[in-house]
Chain A
Amino acid sequence: MAALINVPAKAKRGDIIEIRTLTSHIMETGFRRTMDGALVPRDIITSFTCRYNGTEIFRADLFPAIAANPYLSFFTVAKESGKLEFEWIGDNGYSSTASASITVE
């Protein structure tokens, strides 16, 4: 699925960098009804994980109160060049990944 990842391409060792992620997902709450009264089943992303060269640096549990197309921003210390991997897991077996690379000088 489409995801937008914003990670600085270059950073100095020890810098605190901001990572911003946005992924497309309906985040259906499970509390809405159609016009004929039927409950629309819940379909949300329940978990987000970010790994930096294999080490988990940020994790989040999401609930229906997170807006559609979940946006998350967080920080990390730039330690070494490498890869940031992002994973979203949700209802009905939903799973999506993305990655970004960073050069640390």
Chain B
Amino acid sequence: MPTTRRQFLSFAGGVTVAGTIPIVTLRPVEATPAMLTTAIRNVVGEGPIRTGKVKLNIPPLVENGNTVPMTVSVASPMTADDYVKSIHVFNEKNPQPNIGNFYLNPSSGRAQISTRIRLADTQKVVAIARLSDDSFWQVTADIVVTLAACTEEVN
């Protein structure tokens, strides 16, 4: 198989790095499932998180983890008494477990947000919604990533 420029550069870069600094610092630490749990508890507190209401629309297989389209929507009437206060999105294996916090209010009309995210590895993405009665609802999606983001070298 012919070597592409990208492969050559990443190989050459790896050799340079390995030659100058200890191998333990080669890759930043990945967020672990424990870090994911901590990050979620920082937002949610100790209360229960129920499954349902939240819909996470994200491709199950992505070729390029640098830009992955994602839409989170929550089944809510969005009235003054019953609305979504915030949506929090987390990942399992990026160097940092947070992706974004999005704050809504009754005048949002529809509890739905879209953005584009980075995924460093094949992993789980968790979206949690906080409703106006302070209950938390979550959904989880598994995504297969073939080209990782975040930690690649700068050429």
Chain B contacts of A67 at CB under 8 A?
Answer: 66-68, 115-118, 149
Chain B contacts of A72 at CB under 8 A?
Answer: 113-115
Do the beta carbons of A36 and B99 come within 8 Å of each other? no
Do the beta carbons of A65 and B66 come within 8 Å of each other? no
Question: Which interface class (under 10, 10 to 19, 20 to 34, 35 or more) fits B?
Answer: 35 or more
Indicate if B140 sits at the interface (CB-CB under 8 A). no
CB-nearest residue of chain B to A61: B101
Indicate if A66 sits at the interface (CB-CB under 8 A). yes
Do the beta carbons of A36 and B108 come within 8 Å of each other? no
- Given known pairs A68-B67, A76-B107, the reply for A37 and B20 (CB within 8 Å) is yes
Chain B contacts of A79 at CB under 8 A?
Answer: 107
B13-41: contact bitstring with A at CB < 8 Å (1 yes, 0 no)? Answer: 10011001100000010000000000000
- Given known pairs A31-B28, A37-B16, A77-B108, the reply for A66 and B154 (CB within 8 Å) is no
A44-65: contact bitstring with B at CB < 8 Å (1 yes, 0 no)? Answer: 0000000010000111111111
CB-nearest residue of chain A to B68: A67
Complex interface residues of chain B between 79 and 112 (CB less than 8 A to chain A): 91, 94-96, 98-105, 107-110, 112
Do the beta carbons of A63 and B98 come within 8 Å of each other? yes
Per the bound structure, the CA–CA distance linking A64 and B154 in Å amounts to 16
Per the bound structure, the CA–CA distance linking A53 and B45 in Å amounts to 34
Count chain B CB atoms within 10 A of each CB in A34, A40, A63 and give the residue with the most: A63
Indicate if A94 sits at the interface (CB-CB under 8 A). no
Do the beta carbons of B17 and A74 come within 8 Å of each other? no
Least CB distance from B37 to A in Å reads 17
Do the beta carbons of B108 and A74 come within 8 Å of each other? yes
- Given known pairs A63-B99, A67-B117, the reply for A33 and B154 (CB within 8 Å) is yes
Per the bound structure, the CA–CA distance linking A36 and B91 in Å amounts to 29
Indicate if A16 sits at the interface (CB-CB under 8 A). yes
- Given known pairs A32-B153, A36-B16, A75-B112, the reply for A66 and B118 (CB within 8 Å) is yes
Per the bound structure, the CA–CA distance linking A72 and B115 in Å amounts to 5
Do the beta carbons of A58 and B20 come within 8 Å of each other? no
Seen from chain B, the residues whose Cβ lies within 8 Å of a Cβ on chain A are 9, 12-13, 16-17, 20-21, 28, 66-68, 91, 94-96, 98-105, 107-110, 112-119, 149-155
Seen from chain A, the residues whose Cβ lies within 8 Å of a Cβ on chain B are 16-17, 20, 29, 31-37, 40, 52, 57-68, 70-77, 79
